[in-house]
Amino acid sequence: MTGSDLLQTEHAEDRVNKGGTDHLKKASAETRKKLLGVNGVVSFEERKVADWRVIARGFTGECMTTRFKVRHKIQSVYGLYMNLATPGEGDILYDVNYRPNKHHDEIKAAGILNSILGGDITLLEEVNTLGTKRPDYVWRGKMWELKTVSSEKAADRAMRKGVKQIAKNPGGIILNFGTNVFSTKRCKNVIIDRLKRSEIKTTIDIIILKQDKIFNIFRYKKAKKR
């Protein structure tokens, strides 16, 4: 394994995250504020994020190819969501004939979103029309779909189905990795590859859940054809 291959492994990412976390814990309050911002400091100290890089000012996970930077139409909007958050505000509502006993994962995820970000969430009953499934939620007036996944490959398959379910009024897709290990870089690449092949013509957000916490939020905007 070459040095560059080693840097791209999950272990390398874990070391970067751990090293940065240790540094921030020892840093002064003023230094933390400069690096993370006011809301970022709160999220870090209350352990609302699993990786400090998603709230660090100026940090980007853009890919590099030799000395030329390759920019994709994807960015982390975790900070934007947190700045607009109204934790615990809004109602969690159920669709007519909704069966809670068959939707434990959906109800749990809705509770996480509401407790951290707020907003009215309506859980929709499953209805298949001409082979098209309804999304799991209407949140803040947009359609959202929850997908529980175990790997980046599983996330690709899940998003292929999810984008069809939210196509009429897309808000985004929630990828819940649970306790499974995954690479942030590979996850971003999967999102880019899948969504650029999809029929989505507008902006779509991807919320990443890990261990019942919001790990990151990515926003993808399809590039216009020239």
**Comparison of pLDDT for 80 and 201, the residue scoring more:** 80
Please tell me the distance from the alpha carbon of residue 218 to that of residue 135, in angstroms, as a whole number. Answer: 19
Determine what percent of the chain is predicted with pLDDT higher than 70. Answer: 77
The amino acid at residue 99 is R
Please tell me the distance from the alpha carbon of residue 221 to that of residue 212, in angstroms, as a whole number. Answer: 26
pLDDT tens track for 64-123? 333 434 455 789 999 999 999 999 999 999 999 899 999 999 999 999 999 999 999 999
Contact 201, 222 (CB under 8 A): yes
Residue 16 has a pLDDT of: 62
pLDDT tens track for 147-170? 999 999 999 999 999 999 999 999
Residue 224 has a pLDDT of: 62
For the chain, the residue count is: 226
Q: Tell me the two tokens of residue 223.
A: 């590039």
**Mean pLDDT for the chain?**
81
pLDDT tens track for 168-178? 999 999 999 99
Q: Tell me the two tokens of residue 129.
A: 């029309």
pLDDT tens track for 10-48? 445 566 667 777 777 877 787 777 677 777 777 777 776
Please tell me the distance from the alpha carbon of residue 168 to that of residue 164, in angstroms, as a whole number. Answer: 8
Q: What are phi and psi of 97, to 5 degrees?
A: 65, 20
Q: How confident is the model at residue 129 (pLDDT cuts 50, 70, 90)?
A: low
Q: How confident is the model at residue 6 (pLDDT cuts 50, 70, 90)?
A: very low
Judge if pTM exceeds 0.75.
Answer: no
Residue 138 has a pLDDT of: 97
SS (H, E, C) 61-101: CCEEECCEEECCCEEECHHHHHHCCCCCCCCEEECCCCCHH
